[in-house]
Amino acid sequence: MLFPSAPIAGQLVLITDQLAAPADFLLHQILAVYIKTAAYDGASTRPKAVVVSVSEPLARWKAVAARSNLNLTQKIEDQSLVFLDVPPNGPSTLRPLLDRVRSTVHALRDACLKPNSASDRPTPNLSPVLVVVDDIAALSWIGHPLSDVARFLRALTALCTRESIALVIRHHTVIPDEPSQDDLLRILLQLSSLHFDVLPLASGKSGAVALHAGRSLHPAASTPPLIPRTRALQYRLTDSGAVFFERGTGAAVV
């Protein structure tokens, strides 16, 4: 399987993509898989998610999620999902955003971990809360200095590691042919446990996904099989999402 059943608590999963191969489908699939997963065997409490959106409005998220049969309006109403929109004309520093994410995570975590009955038991390694940031590069595009974005990123990662919260961050690579020139990407690669690398192909609605171990991956961590670029899984976008297949075949594998 390309995807873990859910991002593991305390890990940062990095998704990088390019203008020619946007990773919307991957970001939304991870969210859909996570939010549909029961956190407690036989209990009514389910995992909760926080989406910190810098580049896309809520309406866009709802439209894409609907293709995976995920009703975000319902999830927001039942408090399974909190959507934090980051306006381009917001505060000049990222500290208010970090404080907002922290307070939201704590509230959701406490609500999720509070058992409804003596039989409620957390599923091992499953994070009670998932934080999704889409996308981290856009914080620089709306005027925040790289030093502030890097400080926010490190503080958010430290928060999620300390609180055993799963973190997924998308980063648009503006200069994919020169990754060494991307200072923010270098920091993300140092902090990440898993790295999904979405690559363009010559055909319009197709691409490829590689999966690498991040530099912060714990040796004992349970992960899906890694996929190097030389054997990257190809995908084809459909109206309902993405279909994955091995190079040179048309047989779906995920």
Run of H or E residues at 103: helix 95-113
Q: Determine the average pLDDT of the residues in 34-46.
A: 58
Q: Which of 1, 10, 3 is closest to 126 using CA atoms?
A: 10
Stronger pLDDT, 1 or 10, i.e. the higher one = 10
Instruction: Identify the pLDDT of residue 219.
Output: 57
- Indicate whether 119 pLDDT > 70: no
Cα gap 63→82, rounded to integer Å: 16
Summarize the confidence of residues 11-28 as an average pLDDT. 90
The pLDDT value recorded for residue 113 is 65
What is the mean predicted confidence (pLDDT) over 145-154? 96
Q: How far apart are CA 19 and CA 175, in angstroms?
A: 10
Q: What is the mean pLDDT of the chain?
A: 81
Task: Name the one residue in this structure whose structure tokens are 């400080």.
Answer: 151
Judged against a pLDDT cut of 70, whether residue 132 lies above it is answered with yes
Sequence-distant (6+) residues with CB within 8 A of 66 are: 72
Confidence at residue 230, expressed as pLDDT on a 0 to 100 scale: 79
The average pLDDT across 154-173 equals 94
Q: Which strands form 166-172's sheet, in the order they lie side by side?
A: 81-85, 48-53, 129-134, 166-172, 12-17, 194-200, 206-213, 233-238, 241-245
The pLDDT confidence band at residue 154, using thresholds 50, 70 and 90, is very high
Give the whole-angstrom CA distance, residue 250 versus residue 253. Answer: 9
* pLDDT above 80 for 145: yes
Is the pLDDT at 15 greater than 70, yes or no? yes
Q: pLDDT of 210-249, one tens digit each?
A: 888 777 776 555 566 778 777 788 887 777 667 776 665 5
Domains and CATH numbers, the chain: 12-245 (3.40.50.300)
pLDDT tens readout for residues 170-214: 999 877 777 667 899 999 999 999 999 998 887 666 788 888 877
pLDDT one-digit tens code per residue, 59-105: 999 998 888 788 999 999 988 899 999 988 888 899 999 999 999 99
